[in-house]
Amino acid sequence: MHAPVVAGIFVGGGSTRMGGSPKGLLLAPSGETLIARWKGLFARLSIPCVLVGERARSAYASAGLEVLADARAADDLGPLGGLLALLEHAGEGAAIAVACDMPFVSTELVRRLAEVRSPAPAVAARRAGRWEPFFARYDAQAVVPTALAHADARRGSLQALLDAVSAEELAMSDAEHAELLDWDAPEDVTR
């Protein structure tokens, strides 16, 4: 029997490059908000999901999803605080972390990530030689001790965390890599 999986949709940033508008409320090419798209995708895979980030309570109240605030928020750990909250929420299971601003990820690609069997404590995509910590699957129990040590040492880099736990790269085709394109600025949306 495999450990249960929970997904965290990360919405924590201030969307400053988007003019302050919450990215998760942008309309995907399918016509639904990015958050609704992710929620539906995870529902099709029978994976429960939560929103992760400080902005979620106010900006995404209508999404109908549980919200996780950053762990150790007073320490201002950035994305590491959100990931810690998700890992703690997953308990003895696995956690899939995704960024809300990826409008092209397919159900099949998420299914592959969810079903990957690896002895590594984390499996993540890589783009341009860097880890994609928000398209990754984490074994919560295995990663929490290292994440806590990084938090204590004020090392918030998720790149460093994935390196420290000897993450495995998710093998992906060029077409699958294209699915990970994200929307960081208004010109990304209009492209």
Burial of 10 (0-12, 13-18, 19+ CB in 10 A): buried
Q: Report residue 98's pLDDT band, with 50, 70 and 90 as the boundaries.
A: very high
- What is the DSSP pairing of strand 5-10 with strand 94-99? parallel
CA distance 117 to 89: 21
Q: Is the dihedral of CA 137, 139, 142, 146 positive or negative?
A: positive
Calculate the alpha carbon distances from 43 to 11, 31, 134, 190 in Å. Answer: 18, 18, 19, 28
The predicted-structure confidence for 102-143, as pLDDT tens digits, reads as follows 999 999 999 999 999 999 999 999 988 999 999 999 999 999
Query: What's the pLDDT at 1?
Result: 37
Confidence tier at 17 by pLDDT (50, 70, 90): low
Average pLDDT over residues 139-153: 95
Mean pLDDT score of the chain, rounded to an integer?
A: 88
User: How is domain 5-190 classified at the architecture level of CATH?
Assistant: Alpha-Beta Complex (3.90)
Q: Which tokens go with 101?
A: 């601003």
Query: Strands 49-52 and 130-139: what pairing?
Result: unpaired
Mean pLDDT over residues 82-97, rounded? 96
**Mean pLDDT score, 4-21:** 75
Domain boundaries, the chain: 5-190
